[in-house]
């Protein structure tokens, strides 16, 4: 049986100079050129570029990313079109992605006009793990959602599209891409007025499109092919309704990511933060661990934290590529097994999941000791994609990068919310009106239930104290290490370790007893390490995590209050939840494609608590 996370990469072959997929015995594009074919069949067939002229947002769905030629042709057309949509989302399904080295091989020889874009994209391709991988291009104005799943997983895609490219291998070679169920699922995701194009002229495919409620007609094919097919949903294309202005409450990693995501969608945002500067709550620490929490059955927490770790990693790597000072250390994370029994469990999970080794592998004690720079007594998981992030610096950088769409109002606590004509009236603690807006994102961390509309949510403050010890650059541990607690490498002359976790404890003071608890955790991670630490040299910081009983984030509308979204419940895993959670909140507000599979996203629905 294949591993739960095992993807079979494309088996690339060349047929008279044209790339082909060995398993499907079919070429990826016409011998007359990928770009010319994309322009004729897909852009031409869906009325592009005229169809996106003057639009705020345009969304395209593609079945079969293949070599990426259609995306690159579309991205290139968007870049050179003065009348283009302000924002382009391109969602593409692919069961057999190219290995990065094959991508580079293909595009080193591929269409010269697309090559620079292809090579730039090649640097950002995600690892070969199932999921929806969001690539933000051209400052986020173009987003490519690579959906690494079977065609049947289209039911997990949430979004409504203005254009569809059907580009699977021939129906005889890959029937799953043209099944009645798939074509009906595609058609359901088309907006009124949306157009679909495919090179395929098979009568059965046309009948299925018509049965799915589309109008269908033949069109002249590309390069000597007599016909192709175009189809459309009757009606006039219209923009999704999106809020004219949004208030975000709270500037921790939830609020900062939400403001960043919305601002990149071009939505004006006012962010209210009660403290004098951003990132002072639970997100105020020097450094925390970014890592996936795998489970042998890839449960919801596993899927959320994998998606979040990959997304945060991709974001910060992209910042680095752009020369932005990224507050992180992507040196990998070791999760040491507690004992032999846990080591066995870790290995079993790996055998069931079979993730790419660069994402997760299992290393013995000797290899881990070498990576860490300190002798450890057990092997454990090694997360090649992971490391530490400085949460406070991250929040601040996100807000800087949000640009002119963001108005940041610190030292302003929001006291209450009430419904009003556009959506919500936002008042301060004295009752004065701060703003009236269409929509509000409640990202006030553990304080979310202090708002009447969210009072029933089981979000509780979980006190955490982290300890900070002086550290020399390059001193061990050289990588982040976890084992019922964590310790980071040196960050700005200190290292962080801990942390305590106590629900219902409201004491904001740093306590020596909690330092002692953290030292015990540290000693269990790195035996012998604490002997060299002077407890008097320790500093610390206390924060209150927004914790919920099922340890999943809380993202979505509360009750039946339109335009009010909660973004919280990050508990002890904020770094691994924040990016997709905030992007999901932005997608819900703007009516744009979701960055997560439907089932995964809905696991965070605040309504889950009411159903229990």
Ligand X SMILES: Cc1cc2nc3c(=O)[nH]c(=O)nc-3n(C[C@H](O)[C@H](O)[C@H](O)COP(=O)(O)OP(=O)(O)OC[C@H]3O[C@@H](n4cnc5c(N)ncnc54)[C@H](O)[C@@H]3O)c2cc1C
Stretch that binds ligand X, among 132-140, 204-212, 319-327, 462-470 (CB under 6 A): 462-470
Contact track, ligand X, 531-560, x by CB under 6 A: ------------x-xx--------------
Stretch that binds ligand X, among 209-217, 243-251, 470-478, 521-529 (CB under 6 A): 243-251
Helices (H), 423-538: 512-525
Q: Which is nearer to ligand X, 41 or 444 (CB)?
A: 444
Stretch that binds ligand X, among 25-33, 251-259, 333-341, 597-605 (CB under 6 A): 251-259
Stretch that binds ligand X, among 110-118, 140-148, 249-257, 330-338 (CB under 6 A): 249-257
Dihedral class, residue 238 (left if φ above 0, else alpha if ψ from -120 to 50, else beta): beta
Least separation in angstroms between residue 467's CB and ligand X is: 9
- Considering only 444, 491, 590, 601, the residue that binds ligand X (CB under 6 A) is 444
Stretch that binds ligand X, among 34-42, 121-129, 250-258, 592-600 (CB under 6 A): 250-258
Least separation in angstroms between residue 547's CB and ligand X is: 8
Contacts of 165 (CB under 8 A, 6+ apart): 42, 46, 60, 61, 62, 63, 70, 196, 197, 198
Least separation in angstroms between residue 346's CB and ligand X is: 19
Q: Could you give the CA distance from residue 459 to residue 449 in angstroms, rounded to a whole number?
A: 7
Q: What distances in angstroms separate CA 30 from CA 23, 34, 35, 38, 168, one per listed residue?
A: 18, 6, 10, 10, 13
Q: Could you give the CA distance from residue 332 to residue 482 in angstroms, rounded to a whole number?
A: 11
Least separation in angstroms between residue 400's CB and ligand X is: 16
Least separation in angstroms between residue 216's CB and ligand X is: 48
What is residue 105's three-state secondary structure?
A: helix
Token couple for 61: 């769905």
Q: What distances in angstroms separate CA 323 from CA 85, 316, 411, 588, one per listed residue?
A: 28, 11, 31, 31
Do 233 and 190 meet the contact criterion of CB atoms below 8 Å apart? yes
Q: Which is nearer to ligand X, 154 or 247 (CB)?
A: 247
Q: Which is nearer to ligand X, 211 or 455 (CB)?
A: 455
Q: Could you give the CA distance from residue 604 to residue 571 in angstroms, rounded to a whole number?
A: 13
- Considering only 350, 573, 589, 590, the residue that binds ligand X (CB under 6 A) is 573
- Considering only 443, 522, 538, 582, the residue that binds ligand X (CB under 6 A) is 443
Token couple for 389: 């992030």
Residue 307 sits in the site that holds ligand X (CB under 6 A): no
What is the C-alpha R_g of the chain? 25
Least separation in angstroms between residue 428's CB and ligand X is: 9
Least separation in angstroms between residue 602's CB and ligand X is: 20
Residues 406-435 that bind ligand X (CB under 6 A): 413-414
Question: Which DSSP state fits 241?
Answer: P
Residues paired with 63 in a beta bridge: 93, 166
Q: Could you give the CA distance from residue 359 to residue 305 in angstroms, rounded to a whole number?
A: 13
- Considering only 46, 70, 74, 285, the residue that binds ligand X (CB under 6 A) is 285
Q: Which is nearer to ligand X, 61 or 443 (CB)?
A: 443
Least separation in angstroms between residue 305's CB and ligand X is: 9
- Considering only 289, 350, 408, 601, the residue that binds ligand X (CB under 6 A) is 289
Torsions phi, psi of 296, nearest 5? -60, -30
Residue 274 sits in the site that holds ligand X (CB under 6 A): yes
Least separation in angstroms between residue 322's CB and ligand X is: 24
Least separation in angstroms between residue 269's CB and ligand X is: 14
Residue 390 sits in the site that holds ligand X (CB under 6 A): no
Q: Which is nearer to ligand X, 128 or 258 (CB)?
A: 258
Q: Could you give the CA distance from residue 329 to residue 494 in angstroms, rounded to a whole number?
A: 14
Q: Could you give the CA distance from residue 242 to residue 438 in angstroms, rounded to a whole number?
A: 9
Q: How many CB atoms neighbour CB 176 within 10 A? A: 15
- Considering only 130, 449, 574, 606, the residue that binds ligand X (CB under 6 A) is 574
Stretch that binds ligand X, among 38-46, 203-211, 566-574, 582-590 (CB under 6 A): 566-574
Dihedral class, residue 387 (left if φ above 0, else alpha if ψ from -120 to 50, else beta): left
Q: Could you give the CA distance from residue 124 to residue 311 in angstroms, rounded to a whole number?
A: 11
Residue 447 sits in the site that holds ligand X (CB under 6 A): yes
- Considering only 45, 255, 380, 386, the residue that binds ligand X (CB under 6 A) is 255
Q: Which is nearer to ligand X, 337 or 441 (CB)?
A: 441
Q: Could you give the CA distance from residue 492 to residue 534 in angstroms, rounded to a whole number?
A: 19
Residues 475-534 that bind ligand X (CB under 6 A): 486, 499
Is omega for the bond preceding 197 within 30 degrees of 0, making it cis? Answer: no
Q: Is the dihedral of CA 516, 521, 526, 528 positive or negative?
A: positive
Residue 97 sits in the site that holds ligand X (CB under 6 A): no
Q: Which is nearer to ligand X, 315 or 444 (CB)?
A: 444
Question: Which DSSP state fits 99?
Answer: P
**Residue showing tokens 């904001």:** 508
Least separation in angstroms between residue 248's CB and ligand X is: 9
Residue 275 sits in the site that holds ligand X (CB under 6 A): yes
Do 62 and 32 meet the contact criterion of CB atoms below 8 Å apart? no
Residue 272 sits in the site that holds ligand X (CB under 6 A): yes
Least separation in angstroms between residue 113's CB and ligand X is: 43
Q: Could you give the CA distance from residue 565 to residue 439 in angstroms, rounded to a whole number?
A: 8
Least separation in angstroms between residue 377's CB and ligand X is: 23
Residue 386 sits in the site that holds ligand X (CB under 6 A): no
Residue 252 sits in the site that holds ligand X (CB under 6 A): yes
Q: Could you give the CA distance from residue 234 to residue 557 in angstroms, rounded to a whole number?
A: 31
Q: Could you give the CA distance from residue 330 to residue 479 in angstroms, rounded to a whole number?
A: 9
Q: Which residue, among 209, 185, 211, 180, has the nearest Cα to 196 in the 3D structure?
A: 209
Residues forming contacts to ligand X in the complex (CB under 6 A) are 249-255, 272-275, 280-283, 285, 288-289, 391, 413-414, 443-445, 447, 464-466, 486, 499, 543, 545-546, 568, 570-576
């Amino acid at each position: 049986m294949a591993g739960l996370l095992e993807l079979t990469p494309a088996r690339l072959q060349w047929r008279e100079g044209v790339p082909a997929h060995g398993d499907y015995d079919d070429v990826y594009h016409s011998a007359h050129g990928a770009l010319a074919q994309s322009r004729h069949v897909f852009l031409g067939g869906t009325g592009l570029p005229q169809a996106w002229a003057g639009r705020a947002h345009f969304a395209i769905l593609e079945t079969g990313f293949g070599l990426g030629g259609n995306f690159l042709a579309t991205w290139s057309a968007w870049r050179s079109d003065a009348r283009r949509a302000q924002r382009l989302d391109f969602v593409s399904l692919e069961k057999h992605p190219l290995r990065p080295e094959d991508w580079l091989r293909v595009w080193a020889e591929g269409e010269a006009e697309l090559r620079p874009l292809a090579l730039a994209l090649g640097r950002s391709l995600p690892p070969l793990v199932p999921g929806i991988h969001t690539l933000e291009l051209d400052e986020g104005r173009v987003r490519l959602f690579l959906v690494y799943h079977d065609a049947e997983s289209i039911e997990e895609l949430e979004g409504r599209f203005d254009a569809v490219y059907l580009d699977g291998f021939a129906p005889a070679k890959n029937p799953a891409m043209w099944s009645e169920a798939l074509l009906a699922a595609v058609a359901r995701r088309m907006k009124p007025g949306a157009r679909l194009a495919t090179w395929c002229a098979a009568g059965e495919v046309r009948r299925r499109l018509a049965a799915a409620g589309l109008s269908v007609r033949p069109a002249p094919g590309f390069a000597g092919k007599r016909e192709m097919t175009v189809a459309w949903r009757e009606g006039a294309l219209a923009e999704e309704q999106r809020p004219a202005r949004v208030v975000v409450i709270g500037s921790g990693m939830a609020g900062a990511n939400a403001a960043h995501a919305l601002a990149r969608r071009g939505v004006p945002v006012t962010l209210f933060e009660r403290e004098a500067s951003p990132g002072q709550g639970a997100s105020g620490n020097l450094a925390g661990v970014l890592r996936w929490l795998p489970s042998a059955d890839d449960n919801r927490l596993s899927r959320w934290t994998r998606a979040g770790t990959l997304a945060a990693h991709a974001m910060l790597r992209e910042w680095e590529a752009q020369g932005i000072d990224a507050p992180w250390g992507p040196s990998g994370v070791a999760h040491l097994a507690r004992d032999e029994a846990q080591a066995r469990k870790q290995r079993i999970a790996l055998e069931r999941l079979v993730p790419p080794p660069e994402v997760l592998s299992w290393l013995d004690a000797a290899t881990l000791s070498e990576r860490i720079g300190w002798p450890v007594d057990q092997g454990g998981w090694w997360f090649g994609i992971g490391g530490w992030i400085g949460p406070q610096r991250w929040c601040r950088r996100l807000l800087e990068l949000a640009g002119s769409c963001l108005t940041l109002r610190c030292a302003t606590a929001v006291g209450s919310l009430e419904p009003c004509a556009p959506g919500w009236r936002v008042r301060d603690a004295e009752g004065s009106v701060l703003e009236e807006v269409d929509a509000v994102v409640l990202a006030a961390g553990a304080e979310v239930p202090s708002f009447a509309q969210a009072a029933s949510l089981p979000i509780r403050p979980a006190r955490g104290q982290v300890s900070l010890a002086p550290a020399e650059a390059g001193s061990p541990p050289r990588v982040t290490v976890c084992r019922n607690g964590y310790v980071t490498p040196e960050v700005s002359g200190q290292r962080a370790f801990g942390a305590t976790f106590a629900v219902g404890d409201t004491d904001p003071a740093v306590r020596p007893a909690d330092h002692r608890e953290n030292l015990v955790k540290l000693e269990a991670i790195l035996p012998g390490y604490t002997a060299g630490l002077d407890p008097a040299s320790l500093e610390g910081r206390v924060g209150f995590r927004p914790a919920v009983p099922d340890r999943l984030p809380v993202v979505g509308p509360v009750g039946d209050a339109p335009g009010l979204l909660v973004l919280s419940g990050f508990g002890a895993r904020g770094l691994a939840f924040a990016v997709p959670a905030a992007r999901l909140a932005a997608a819900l507000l703007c009516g744009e494609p979701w960055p997560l599979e439907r089932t995964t996203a809905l696991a965070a629905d605040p309504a889950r608590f009411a159903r229990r």
